């Protein structure tokens, strides 16, 4: 493989890893801060993709679909937290798994009623539809580069909020010692609601940005949910920085595995996860329990 092809695979891996990070960052926040296992997280990734198809089909604008899809997903997250999720705090994980699995069934049935089983396409913005020619026979889509830039900007915003703002300080305090933070008077009922909604919106955002390159189809959430949990465990539960490292590692492993080891590419990410957990049982940036 020449250097140009190697660079293309690296870009593909980074782009995939950044999309994974958007999904996994929301999942690790919900899991690490709220202590809730949300098996329906991947369904909201699919929801974002279908909202993009629906809004762009009626408005003809990808940007309206982007803004509208995130806003709708955030509102759905607020509603779900108020009606269902807040009743799960402090309960055992079985109740959380059962409720989130029920949400998967409800969302999938709604998807089937509204959109059927057809595969749908979403057009990327016109100025991002071209390709950059790398060699005489090889080019790279501009939209994929745009995904990388956009996801990096969102990741930077996430880290800024968590590290440099008051709400970020509260989130970090809740992840470190929730009982102590509550004893200091932090209004966790409100924090929980917005953290859950933000996690849902991030998953939907990932579905929105990949819709033009992956198409929109039933079951697109299944693999993303599994890989998101892999990323969360790999990076360390509750660690957004760990999720970023884990997502990039999984994205690059998957991209190069399909090229160099196609016969075992489907298990390559799990082999990497096993190797890392043997070295760091709590994840790359996970804290050791005492």
Let me know if residue 193 belongs to a domain: yes
Let me know if residue 229 belongs to a domain: no
Q: How far apart are the first and last CA of the chain?
A: 47
Let me know if residue 137 belongs to a domain: yes
Residue range 152-162, pLDDT digits in tens: 999 999 999 98
Instruction: Report the distance separating Cα 6 and Cα 20, nearest Å.
Output: 21
Total domains, the chain: 1
Does 265 score more than 80 pLDDT? no
Kindly report the pTM of this predicted structure. Answer: 0.91
* Residue 47 CB neighbours (<10 A): 24
Query: Cα 221 from chain centroid?
Result: 10
Let me know if residue 10 belongs to a domain: no
Mean pLDDT, the chain, whole residue set: 87
Let me know if residue 38 belongs to a domain: yes
Let me know if residue 242 belongs to a domain: no
Instruction: Report the distance separating Cα 45 and Cα 23, nearest Å.
Output: 7
Residue range 99-149, pLDDT digits in tens: 889 999 999 999 999 998 889 999 999 899 888 888 777 888 999 999 999
Let me know if residue 157 belongs to a domain: yes
- 281 confidence band (pLDDT: 50, 70, 90): confident
Domain of 42, in residue numbers? 25-218
Residue range 164-220, pLDDT digits in tens: 888 888 777 766 666 676 776 777 778 888 889 999 999 999 999 999 998 899 989
């Amino acid at each position: 493989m020449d250097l140009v092809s190697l660079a293309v695979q690296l870009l593909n891996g980074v782009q995939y890893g950044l999309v994974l990070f958007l999904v996994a960052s929301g999942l690790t926040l919900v899991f690490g801060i709220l202590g809730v296992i949300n098996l329906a997280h991947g369904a909201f990734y699919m929801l974002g993709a279908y909202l993009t198809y629906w809004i762009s089909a009626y408005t003809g604008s990808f940007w309206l679909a982007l803004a509208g899809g995130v806003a709708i997903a955030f509102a759905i997250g607020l509603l779900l937290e108020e009606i269902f999720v807040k009743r799960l705090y402090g309960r055992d994980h079985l109740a959380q798994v059962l409720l989130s699995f029920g949400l998967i069934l409800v969302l999938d049935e709604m998807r089937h009623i509204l959109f059927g089983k057809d595969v749908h396409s979403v057009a990327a913005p016109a100025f991002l539809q071209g390709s950059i020619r790398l060699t005489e026979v090889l080019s790279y889509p501009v939209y994929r580069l745009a995904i990388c830039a956009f996801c990096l900007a969102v990741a930077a915003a996430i880290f800024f909020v968590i590290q440099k703002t008051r709400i970020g300080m509260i989130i970090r305090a809740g992840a470190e010692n929730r009982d102590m933070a509550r004893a200091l008077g932090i209004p966790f009922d409100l924090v929980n609601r917005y953290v859950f909604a933000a996690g849902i919106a991030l998953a939907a955002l990932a579905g929105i940005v990949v819709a033009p390159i992956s198409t929109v189809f039933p079951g697109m959430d299944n693999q993303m949910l599994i890989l998101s949990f892999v990323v969360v465990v790999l990076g360390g539960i509750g660690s957004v920085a760990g999720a970023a490292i884990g997502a990039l590692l999984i994205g690059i492993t998957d991209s190069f595995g399909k090229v160099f080891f196609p016969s075992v590419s489907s298990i390559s990410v799990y082999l990497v996860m096993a190797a890392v957990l043997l070295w760091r049982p709590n994840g790359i940036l996970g804290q050791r329990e005492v």
